[in-house]
Amino acid sequence: MNLLSVINEKVGAAFKTAGYQDAQTLVRAADRPDLADYQANGALALAKSQHQNPREVAEKIAEELKKDSFFSEVSVAGPGFINMKIKDEELTKLAAPILTQEKAGYERVDKPRTVVLDYCGPNVGKVMHVGHLRSGNIGDAVRRIMTFAGDKTIGDAHLGDWGRPMGLVLTELQKRWPDMPYFKADYKDDKGYQVPFTLADVIEAYPVASAKAKEDEAYMEQAKNYTRELQEGNKGLRDLWKKFVDLTKADTQDLMQQLNVHLDLWWGESTVNDRCNEMIERLKKSGVAELDDGAWIIRQEGDTPPLILVNSAGASMYAATDLATLEARMEEFKPDVVLYFTDARQSLHFAQVFATAKKTGIVPENVKLEYQPFGSVNGADNKPYKTRDGGVPTLRFLIDSAVQKARAKMESGEIGRDLTDAEKDEISHTVGVAALKFMDLMNDKVKNYIFDEDRMLATEGKTGPYLLYAMVRMKSVLEKLGKPKDDTLTITNPAERKLLLNLYTFPENVQIAYDNRAPHVIADYLYKLCQDFNLFYHDCSIKDADESTKNSRLNLLAYTLKVALLCADMLGLKVPNKM
């Protein structure tokens, strides 16, 4: 049950009484809230299909709606828009039945699905950067929205831990620490042995190794040999490889935990290594894969370039790993939908992989494969964001910088004046991360946006700190004034009505965000809700109101906090108890 469904039912009945069966009512929140609460646009399409005057059709339906005591005003505007204003007592009557529900009026999807989401995408030997912020943030927010809607979701980091890069790292580590036991012919195990390198060494080793391999043929040959031996199961190399993979994974898990990004799986490319080889042989034998100038390819429809399964040097490509991963996901989870969150530059790759997955039967026709690209994070010059020294900012740098700036605001007395140092440390991290996450999520994912560290931490405007401050204020008032005595609600001020109507649109916004995989819809809704709350807080005294009005306003405040926290959770924002 939600307000939109109630109005849809009433408008649908009016259509039928007016003589129009099975018409689309097309009810939505009014474009002009100053004129109406909701509008129905179905008369226009109906009139067109029946070759009638749309305004005359709308007038007939409006006359039926005027008979319903639910509405205080019904009118027709323009060519046939039906505007409806709801009586205050009807609005308040529905508040408790709808807004006290677990999901505040949202009705879970009719047919819950199993959804695998591929996001985050860290690579062993490579530092996580600003691009991983978007992948992890957006992917996890979509996962949260789909979970809220009733789907079963599985988030997978898809760790890049296989292939030539691993051979390059192994080679460079061997050059730097040749006495490590992993390279000895009689190696059995490394019990009690502490590796001499750190994650920083691994991250630094890869670009160095990559540069050396381009200039030194012997170095490249060793990297190729180590890659082959690793994939064939050389125990020493496997044990050493596991050490630096674990370092990367632990670092990534720490970063994702700080960002409040949840992942269920940490499947790596290595997870499907054996399956990948078997799949390639199967595709060769079936004739789907064909030999072309030394490489094994799968031709695509139209002008799309062929997918390269195995290159001319005999190495399997990323496309092969992605296909094998899809095959494993189909067997393990039997998903209805699989979503991938990467930057927009990989559109051709996924178009090839998806088409091949369907063509080869790896993915059944009824399973949806969705590529969810996102835009870049740019600096003030509208070019890809870089640090002041010109480098691409690491994800850890972004988090630390946001937290430090939040702490500086507390020290300046702008927020958190009465907090202890320990509380300031904890809350500055919560505020800094929320600022970073919200700045990313409030933008339509497909668009580029400009990264502004100072703006994102402002306590006014469309920012994470503004939202947190509003929700902390809601918590504080309820804590100081206590819970309402009963669920009665009355409207005595326009600000109350505006806030209540916005609360009722929560289910519609969730559905739009769900259908379009669009966290920015929830971000925008939460911002507007907090704006309406601040207007209500300013215009409607709670403490000094009479008992009845006070009780009503506490109810409205409790409903607002409930919906705001549901939105914050879908965005992965933690809300402190004080600021």
Q: What is the largest CA-CA distance in the chain?
A: 91
* pLDDT for residue 413: 76
Burial class (CB in 10 A: 0-12, 13-18, 19+), 338: buried
* pLDDT for residue 288: 95
Cβ neighbours around 265 below 10 Å, total = 18
> What is the spatial distance between Cα 278 and Cα 29, in angstroms, rounded to a whole number?
55
Q: Which domains does the chain have, with CATH numbers?
A: 3-86 (3.30.1360.70), 114-160+264-377 (3.40.50.620), 164-250 (no CATH)
Give me the percent of the chain exceeding a pLDDT of 70.
99
Q: What is the mean pLDDT of residues 421-449?
A: 95
* Contact present, 61 and 18 (Cβ < 8 Å): yes
* pLDDT for residue 473: 97
* pLDDT for residue 454: 86
> What is the spatial distance between Cα 404 and Cα 429, in angstroms, rounded to a whole number?
8
> Per-residue pLDDT for 388 more than 70?
no
- The SS3 of residue 112 is coil
> Per-residue pLDDT for 380 more than 90?
no
Q: What is the mean pLDDT of residues 206-226?
A: 95
Question: What are the DSSP E strand ranges found in 244-366?
Answer: 290-292, 295-298, 307-310, 337-343
Q: Which of 463, 444, 445 is nearest to 454 (CA)?
A: 463
Q: Which of 128, 106, 127, 110 is nearest to 119 (CA)?
A: 128
* pLDDT for residue 1: 76
* Contact present, 468 and 476 (Cβ < 8 Å): no
Torsion of CA 58, 63, 67, 71, to 10 degrees: 50
Give me the percent of the chain exceeding a pLDDT of 90.
86
pLDDT for 71-98, tens place per residue? 999 999 999 999 999 999 999 999 999 9
Q: How crowded is the C-beta side of 255, counted as CA atoms within 13 Å?
A: 28
Please give, one letter per residue, the 3-state secondary structure of 518-534: CHHHHHHHHHHHHHHHH
pLDDT for 454-507, tens place per residue? 899 999 999 999 999 999 999 999 999 998 999 999 999 999 999 999 999 999
Residue type, 414: E
Residue 83 phi/psi, 5° resolution?
-100, 140
- H helices of 293-420, in order, are 318-333, 347-359, 395-411
pLDDT for 173-194, tens place per residue? 999 999 999 999 999 999 989 9
- H helices of 150-198, in order, are 164-176
* Contact present, 58 and 43 (Cβ < 8 Å): yes
* pLDDT for residue 390: 64
> Per-residue pLDDT for 381 more than 90?
no
pLDDT for 332-376, tens place per residue? 999 999 999 999 999 999 999 999 999 999 999 999 999 999 999
Structure-token pair, residue 265:
């799986």
> Per-residue pLDDT for 414 more than 80?
no
> Per-residue pLDDT for 302 more than 80?
yes
* Contact present, 352 and 300 (Cβ < 8 Å): yes
Whole-number average pLDDT of the chain: 94
> What is the spatial distance between Cα 485 and Cα 181, in angstroms, rounded to a whole number?
71
Say what the pTM is: 0.94
Q: What is the mean pLDDT of residues 115-130?
A: 92
Give the confidence band of 389 by pLDDT, cuts at 50, 70, 90. low
pLDDT for 274-287, tens place per residue? 899 999 999 999 99
Mode of pairing for the β-strands spanning 114-118 and 152-156: parallel
